[in-house]
Structure 1
Amino acid sequence: MRIIHVSYSDTGGAGRAAYRIHCSLLDSGIESKMQVMYSVSGDYTVDSLTRNIKDKILQKSRELPAKLLSKSGSVENSIIHSIAILPSGLPAILNNSDADVIHLHWVGRELLSVKDISKINKPIVWTFHDMWPFCGAEHVSYDNRYKDGYSAIKKSSYSTGFDLNKWTWERKKKHWNKPIEIVTPSRWMAECVQESALMSDWPVTVIPNPIDARKWEPIEKNVARKILGYQSDCLLVAFGSYGENQQYHKGADLLKLALAHIKESNKQDVKLVVIGQNPPIVPDGYGFPAIYEGFLHDDISLRLLYSAVDAIIIPSRIESFSQMASEAHVCGTPVIAFNVCGLRDIVDNRITGYLANAFDAEDFAEGIRWVLSDKGRLTALGQQARIKALNKFDKAVVSQQYQSIYRKVIEH
């Protein structure tokens, strides 16, 4: 069985997920390769389309018209938009390959056009890492127009002028006549697919993103803290503050409200660890002492951090899955999140962490207090989190699920 994965990159949230799926297959003895626009892994099984400066300049020039057209729609939803209109030449490469299955992942930023996807004549599996495939041009939908086919009557209040999302959705409707085998990393994403006007009758299977549980073995907490220079006698909670985490759907505003509730009644020595952000010139207003770790690019650093802290907090309104949550769990660290979206598939309420009522900052604060207030409970939550990760997210488990999907599309 020969698989080619098509992904914009092998890094970043979706890129890391795609690369981990690829590696899980290799470790299972499957002949797997990746075709990406940009690669940072240095892996010989990953083929980059931008091998030199000329290639990179050409790709940036391809992305520029799409960016300009996106601005013409006066779209205030600041999440990335992909119009996917320029032909790439990739379908010919894929069709002439010896692959049995083409596995699509995140293909935005003009990696593949809408029409390109319809030209792939080999069996296709498509893992949805965000909402773009069944939406218009937007990668995250705040208004659910994808459910009614982008009716002009329900045009978003934040979008004026040219209806970019409707135009992109209509091109998908025109070119994607044959259903593709869909995989989503969460039940919530599968429900979105089934409720969409574009793909309600397409086959969809839920398979979580994998992680190598052996490589992500928890590190003893005091050892991890000593290596990172953290205090051993305080409670530490960590959260991500990457650039895109400042987007509305990542819930930074809800986090600050929850921390304000905590501060009002806090009687414990709690410190924050902020991942993905350097110390700011102006304080962020979190209200607690904070350690700013900047960007952590390698698995060893992340594993150390997850093992060192007492809990991870994820205040997102929308998450297709959340690799931060699954990475924390495999390291035996509880997660506090809202009871929404893909996070419900990872966190078991009061078993591996705490799921607060949707967007209720006060209940989120209660979750933080509940997790941290009892050392015995904190230990038990971490143990159950590790067990959940081993049973559900380990690469060997996920690889077998994907192989079943591949056999299905090959035999169809």
Structure 2
Amino acid sequence: MKALHINTDESRGGAARSANRLYAAQRIVGTDARMLVLRRSTRDPNVDSVPLNRLQRLIRRRVIHLDRPSKRAYPEYRGGDWSTGRVSTPVLGYLERARPDVVNLHWLGGGMLSVEALARIRAPIVWTLHDMWAVTGGCHYAGSCVLYRTGCGSCPQLRSTQPRDISASTWERKRRSWRDLNLTIVTPSRWLADIVKESPILGGYRTEVIPNAIDTQVFRPFNAAFARDVLRLPQDKTLILFGAQHIDDERKGFAYLSKALALLPERDDVELVLFGVSQPVLETNLKAHHVGTIDNDQLLALLYSAADVFVAPSVQDNLPNTVMEALTCGTPSVGFHIGGMPDLIDHQQSGYLARPLDAEDLAHGISWSLANRAALGEHARAEAVSRYDSMQIAARYVGLYTEIIGDRFGRVS
């Protein structure tokens, strides 16, 4: 069976890491899996970059701005992940030559694949959704907005008051283009599955919940003293860990962590460890160690093992890799009871689920988890291995591929 995974990046960002781990695990279990990306970051011979000749590269540079909202039309738009799906790379030509049995789509932002080009894929499609973009008028996470349920328009992220703005037209392009696809949806979390099922765009298609995959031999508990020695972190401190690709991404909720830390009982043995881009300002005098961006999985596993608790106070999230990685390393995790967090954290068994956006309860959850670290860590590791091991997840996907390859349409009757 030939399976082709398509994602904008090979390994940069959460969706890319998830897609890459799944593709690699499928090769181990015997599937002829490959990956097609716009931006490569390794020399993996089974990962191809979209072939672009000189003229295509020139044209792309001229039109890539069309994948973002126009600053002229929406001057109050502050940036962030928002894609119109109007720009595409020559993926279809690659597919004609490669002829995969199944195409597994992932994150397609940055002009990887347009709304209309996606509809022209002939092979059976499995689309693993890593955020909400497929069901919205352009945003990747809608926050408190629910206009994606009825057609978008007056987009709050664009600061738009126009009912027929670009979010409404993008939403309608998706609804019109994706009516009759050979498509099966996979969501890593139950939260996102529920959103898809109520969507006028994709709600009619079969939707399966399959979590992201993780290599439980790479992400495993290490001796904390050894891990701290390697990372040059203090041996005699209680370490609270927070990390994200961009620490200052409002959706990742660092502001709530900062407030929670200020509410913790005063202890001179507690310090904070941060990984990711940027160094935020704390609302407390707590000492912080910023270790920068870590792309190496082995070093990440050491970092999680060095910590006493991992905190992920996202205000909206699917199934964040950081939480899965921390739990697999036996590190208790604390987050809000939002999105896919309940799929990951077993409340008061592998960590703590605080009341949504309640910094005081988040602080309580951190203190409680630190006090119960040993028992929580054992449960976290055992459950992560049983739920997310990459070989198990790869086999589930292969079973799904086998089931749908002979079907003409994945739409629910």
**What residue is the counterpart of 1:332 in the other structure?**
330
The answer to whether the 8 Å contact 2:259/2:283 transfers is no
Residue number in structure 2 paired with 1:255:
257
Q: Distance in 2 between matches of 1:195 and 1:314?
A: 27
For structure 1, which segment, 67-76 or 247-256, has the greater mean C-alpha deviation from structure 2 after superposition?
A: 67-76
Which whole-Å CA distance do the structure 2 matches of 1:187 and 1:104 have between them?
19
Q: SS state of the match for residue 246, structure 1?
A: coil
Name the CA shift for 1:111/1:87 in 2 (closer, same or farther; >3 Å): closer
Q: For 1:29-108, what aligned pairs fall within 5 Å after superposition?
A: 29-49=30-50, 59-67=60-68, 69=70, 72-74=73-75, 76=77, 78-108=79-109
- The superposition leaves residues 279-332 of structure 1 with CA deviations (integer Å, 9 ceiling, x where unpaired) of 57xx54343100010111111111110111111100101111110000001111
The corresponding residue for 1:386 is 381
Alignment deviations for residues 24-61 of structure 1 (CA, whole Å, 9 cap, x no partner): 10010100000100011321110012689987665444
Q: What amino acid sits opposite 2:116 in the alignment?
A: K
Question: Partner of 1:144 in structure 2?
Answer: 146
Alignment of 1:270-289 (within 5 A): 270-277=270-277, 283-289=281-287
| Code of the aligned partner of 2:228 | R
Deviation at 1:139, TM superposition (A): 1.0
Indicate if the aligned counterparts of 1:88 and 1:116 stay in contact, CA closer than 8 A.
Answer: no
Which residue identity is paired with 2:261?
L
Which residue does 2:5 correspond to in 1?
A: 5
Matching residue within 401, 405, 408 for 2:400 = 405
How far apart, CA to CA, are the structure 1 residues paired with 2:315 and 2:243? 14
- Counterpart position of 2:410: none
**Relative to 1, partners in 2 of residues 1:95 and 1:53: Cα closer, same or farther, differing over 3 Å?**
closer
Instruction: Report the more deviating stretch, 223-232 or 325-334.
Output: 223-232
Paired residue secondary structure (1:8) = strand
Q: What is the deviation of 1:87?
A: 4.4
Partner deviation per Cα, 1:340-378 (whole Å, 9 max, x = no partner): 1111111100111111011111000000010113xxx21
State the 1:385 CA deviation. Answer: 0.7
1:224 and 2:227 equivalent? yes
The one-letter amino acid paired with 2:152 is Y
Matches within 5 A, 1:147-296: 147-150=149-152, 158-160=159-161, 163-179=165-181, 180-243=183-246, 245-262=247-264, 265-267=265-267, 269-277=269-277, 283-296=281-294
Please state how far the C-alpha of 1:62 moved relative to its aligned partner. 3.6
Give the AA of the match of 2:16. Answer: G
Within 1, Cα distance between the matches of 2:348 and 2:229? 29
Residues 1:53 and 1:298: Cα distance change in structure 2 (over 3 Å): farther
Structure 1 residues 61-117: Cα deviation after superposition (integer angstroms, max 9, x where no partner): 442233363652346363211111134331232134231001111011111111001
Which digits, 9 at most, give the CA deviation of each residue in 1:101-151, with x for residues without a partner? 011110111111110011001100000011101111111112111111226
Change (3 A) 1:334 1:53: farther
* Structure 1 unaligned spans of 5+: none
Residues 312 and 336, structure 1, Cα contact 8 Å, conserved in 2 = yes
Q: Which has the higher helix share?
A: 1
Identity %: 33
* Structure 2: unaligned runs, 5 residues or longer: 408-413
Match of 2:411 in 1: none
Q: Does the 8 Å contact 1:38/1:50 carry over to 2?
A: no
Equivalent residues of 2:241, 2:311 under 8 A apart? yes
Matches within 5 A, 1:344-383: 344-373=342-371, 377-383=372-378
SS at match of 2:241: strand
Instruction: Give me the whole-angstrom Cα distance separating, in 1, the residues matched to 2:307 and 2:345.
Output: 17
Residue 266 of structure 1 and its aligned partner are, at CA, apart by 2.5
Task: State the secondary structure of the residue aligned to 1:212.
Answer: coil
Contact persistence 2:77–2:158 (CA under 8 A): no
Query: For residues 157-198 of structure 1, what are the alpha-carbon distances to aligned partners after superposition, in whole Å with 9 as ceiling and x for unaligned?
Result: 832456121111111111111152000010001011012221
TM-score, with structure 1 as normaliser: 0.92
* Distance change >3 Å, CA 78–CA 247, structure 1 → 2: farther
Kept in 1: contact 2:130–2:187 (CA 8 A) = yes
Mapped partners of 2:274, 2:189: distance in 1: 26
TM-score, normalization: structure 2?
0.92
